[in-house]
Amino acid sequence: MTEVQAGERPDVAVLRIEGRLTMVNAPALRASVGEAVEAGRTTVVIDLAACTFMDSSGLGAIVGGLKAARQAGGDLRIARLTPQVRTVLELTNLDRVLRPHDTVEAALDGG
């Protein structure tokens, strides 16, 4: 997982997930979102373009991040979903809570 700058917006963090998002690395995602929110970056975008697989632990980490961001007055958004990740969201109906965006820019612009 890597964090990238979101241009000139100090309130934004963009996190890129690479590979599998499972119980092995879900805690790292939770920690990264928590650190971003604590640093005042209350809008968090998770870029899932390179996420090849996500299980329930990964999904839980994203939902936990959403809760943390919203409690801080911000939001967590997801972008560039792979087919497997999209299927997991649709099967759990979480695509209604975490509306997927086609691009990181669309996630930053849209609520």
Per-residue pLDDT, 87: 95
What percentage of the chain carries pLDDT values higher than 70?
A: 92
Task: For 70-85, write each residue's pLDDT tens digit.
Answer: 999 999 999 999 999 9
Handedness of CA 76, 82, 83, 85 (dihedral sign): negative
Q: In what order do the strands lie in the sheet with 43-54?
A: 2-4, 12-21, 43-54, 75-79, 100-101
Mean pLDDT calculated for residue range 10-17 = 92
Look at residue 64 in the predicted model and tell me its pLDDT.
96
Q: Could you give the CA distance from residue 23 to residue 102 in angstroms, rounded to a whole number? A: 26
pLDDT at 18 over 60: yes
The pLDDT assigned to 10 comes to 85
**Whether pLDDT at 27 is above 70:** yes
Q: What is the CATH number of domain 2-109?
A: 3.30.750.24
pLDDT of residue 9: 80
**pLDDT at site 25:** 93
- CA–CA dist 11, 34 (Å, integer): 13
* Annotated domain spans of the chain: 2-109
Spatial distance between the Cα atoms of 78 and 98, rounded to a whole number of angstroms = 7
The full length of the chain comes to 111
